[in-house]
Each structure stands twice: as C-alpha cells, then as structure tokens.
C-alpha cells in the first residue's frame, strides 16, 4: 500500500492543505440551529412568549407591556432632548442680546469720550480688558497686542489659549420608531393578534399560554411553526398560513373566522426572528473567517458574521 507522503510529511517549511484544514484555516460555515432562531410566538423585545400580543404594520409582534414601555421611553427621551434644545436656544438668544447691549454701551461710551475731553480711545476688541485695571503707561496698546496674540495664537497646550467649541443640540425628531424595523411607529397603528388554539377557537385569549406547537391555522388546521410563512389580518387580528391567506382571504376579501371584511393591504406577513440575538430570513448561516498567525499554528478568529 503506497504511503501518503502529503499527509504524513510534517517537516516542511510551509503548511500543507491538510494541516491548514486541521488548524481551522479558511472560511468556516455553520448553519444556525433551532436555538438560534426566535420562535414565531416570542416577543421581539423580551424574547419570551408574548402576553397580549400587538403587531405593527411590518409584521413585528411585541408584548403589549414591552412595546408600551419602549414607546414611553422614546417619548421621555424626545422630551429630554427638546428641553435641552430649548435651553440652548434661550442661551443663544441671551448671548446675542448681551452682545447687542454691550455694543450699544461701547458706542455710547465712545461718543461721550469724543465730546468730553481727550481720553484714550478704546476699540471694541480691547475695551473689556482695559477698563478693569491699569497695566502701565502704555496700557491700552500693550493689552491690545496681548489680546490680539491670544486670539490668533493656536497653542493647544495652553489652557488659557485653548479654543472652546460649544456643543450644539439639534432639534430632535418627535416621531417614535419601531425597535425592530426602525420605521415610524405610533400606538394607534398597532393592532392585537389572535392565534387559534389546537383545542379551542379562541386560544389566543389565554394570556400566559405558550403558543409554540399549540396553534393551528383556522382554515387548513395545520400546526403553526417557524417553517411556515404566517399572515395576520390587521382588521381582526386572526393568523393564517400564507397558502390559505393567498388562496381564500385575498380573493374573497373576508376573514374565515369572524367573517369580517378586509382588503388586500390588510394582510400583513409576520416576521420570523429579527433580533440581535436570533437569526432570521432564509440565509440562516454563520460564517467565521480564520487565518494563521505569524510563527504560530493558532488561527486568529474574527467575529462571526451572519449572512
């Protein structure tokens, strides 16, 4: 039996393909399992089975308490930013009024000096520094040179000459956003969601019931799982599988449970997954890029990227 020289030879100055593969060199791909995917009956914020679920127009489902707390926190943040913006505007207005008042006072002082004797003339630049005290025989000229030097000198290591840039607070947006889809969201646009239980027609009324494996499509009686595409009717909140929704509800314009009229735009596709801790969509694959470190057989791993 011939020996596999490429497999057994380990005294080369470079790594062979088999050695690189054993060290984990290259691209490592791994499909995410069930534990990495958020269930369809879990809240997008707390990642727990939702209680009194509410859905937005993009198909993200939240617990009622979680989404209300999130919207209230956003409103408190907006109120705090608006207060800071109003305070800054008031401060800027006061500074402008103070500058106008000081300029008017300097003009009146200069006019009074011109008409009541030979008093040294003060310009706008050094008047504030010169009127506070006496700095020598040529106090006006000396202080003027010092002020001009400090104003034009770019010495960042001197605390007295370091320029200060005021922090500007822009006017914040008054809109609240969905924490999952980042689109504008209002409390009025949320609608309740009702799942059909396996043993009763109104299983969604039980608040603390875990819905995974116990909910069915009211039309075809198929158990709802993450493998199915789900559609909710925004007018009444009943959930169907996408096949039944496209085959019956979209054509008849009528809910199959409560016989309530609905339009085609009332059919909202429920999003599966979509949080920072769970994968979603069709490409549920985690990828690691590894390369060999210099002078060592260990691979340097970069953070995994979900594609």
pLDDT tens sequence across 246-261? 988 888 888 988 988 8
DSSP 142-171: HHHHHHHHHHH---TT-GGG----PPP-PP
Token digits for 198?
Answer: 């396996």
Provide the whole-model pTM. Answer: 0.60
Burial class from Cβ neighbours inside 10 Å (0-12, 13-18, 19+) for residue 253 reads: exposed
Could you tell me which of 193, 194, 175, 170 has the C-alpha nearest to residue 185? 175
Q: Is the pLDDT of residue 66 over 90?
A: yes
Contact in structure between 274 and 60 (CB atoms under 8 Å):
yes
Q: Token match 């914020």: residue?
A: 45
Q: Rounded mean pLDDT of 45-56? A: 90
Q: How confident is the model at residue 5 (pLDDT cuts 50, 70, 90)?
A: low
Burial 91-124 (b: 16+ CB within 10 A, else e): eeeeeeeeeeeeeeebeeebeeeeeeeeeeebee
pLDDT tens sequence across 207-257? 444 444 478 999 898 988 888 889 999 999 999 999 999 988 888 888 988
pLDDT tens sequence across 80-122? 999 988 998 998 899 899 999 999 998 888 888 887 755 455 5
Token digits for 187?
Answer: 């409390």
Residue 156 makes CB contacts below 8 A (sequence gap 6+) with: 162
Q: Is the pLDDT of residue 307 over 70?
A: no
Tell me, what's the pLDDT at 144? Answer: 62
The Cα-based distances of 33 to 175, 283, 287, 305 in angstroms read 37, 12, 14, 15
For CA atoms 63, 68, 73, 77, the dihedral sign is positive
pLDDT averaged over every residue in the chain: 75
Q: Is the pLDDT of residue 138 over 70?
A: no
Three-state DSSP at 22 gives helix
Tell me, what's the pLDDT at 301? Answer: 45
Q: How confident is the model at residue 68 (pLDDT cuts 50, 70, 90)?
A: very high
What share of the chain in percent tops pLDDT 90? Answer: 23
């Amino acid at each position: 039996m011939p020996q596999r020289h490429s497999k057994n030879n380990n005294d080369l100055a470079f790594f062979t393909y088999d050695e690189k593969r054993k060290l984990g060199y290259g691209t490592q791909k791994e499909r995410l399992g069930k534990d990495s995917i958020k269930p369809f009956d879990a809240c997008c914020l707390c990642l727990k089975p939702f209680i009194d679920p509410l859905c937005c127009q993009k198909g993200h489902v939240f617990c009622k308490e979680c989404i209300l707390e999130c919207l209230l926190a956003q409103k408190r943040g907006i109120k705090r930013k608006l207060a800071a913006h109003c305070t800054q505007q008031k401060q800027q207005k006061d500074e402008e009024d103070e500058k106008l008042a000081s300029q008017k006072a300097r003009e009146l002082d200069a006019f009074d000096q011109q008409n009541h004797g030979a008093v040294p003339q003060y310009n706008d630049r050094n008047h504030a520094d010169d009127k506070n005290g006496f700095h020598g025989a040529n106090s006006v000229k000396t202080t003027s040179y010092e002020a001009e030097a400090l104003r034009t000198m770019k010495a960042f290591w001197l605390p007295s000459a370091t320029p200060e840039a005021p922090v500007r607070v822009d006017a914040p947006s008054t809109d609240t956003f969905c924490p999952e889809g980042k689109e504008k969201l209002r409390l009025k646009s949320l609608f309740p969601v009702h799942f059909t239980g396996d043993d009763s027609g109104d299983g969604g009324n039980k608040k603390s019931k875990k819905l995974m494996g116990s909910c069915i499509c009211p039309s075809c009686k198929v158990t709802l799982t993450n493998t199915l595409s789900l559609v909710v009717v925004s007018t009444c909140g009943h959930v169907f599988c996408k096949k039944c929704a496209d085959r019956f509800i979209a054509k008849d314009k009528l809910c199959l449970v409560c016989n309530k009229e609905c339009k085609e735009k009332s059919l909202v596709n429920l999003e599966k997954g979509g949080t920072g801790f769970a994968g979603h969509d069709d490409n549920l694959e985690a990828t690691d890029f590894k390369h060999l470190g210099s002078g060592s057989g260990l691979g340097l791993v970069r953070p995994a990227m979900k594609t």
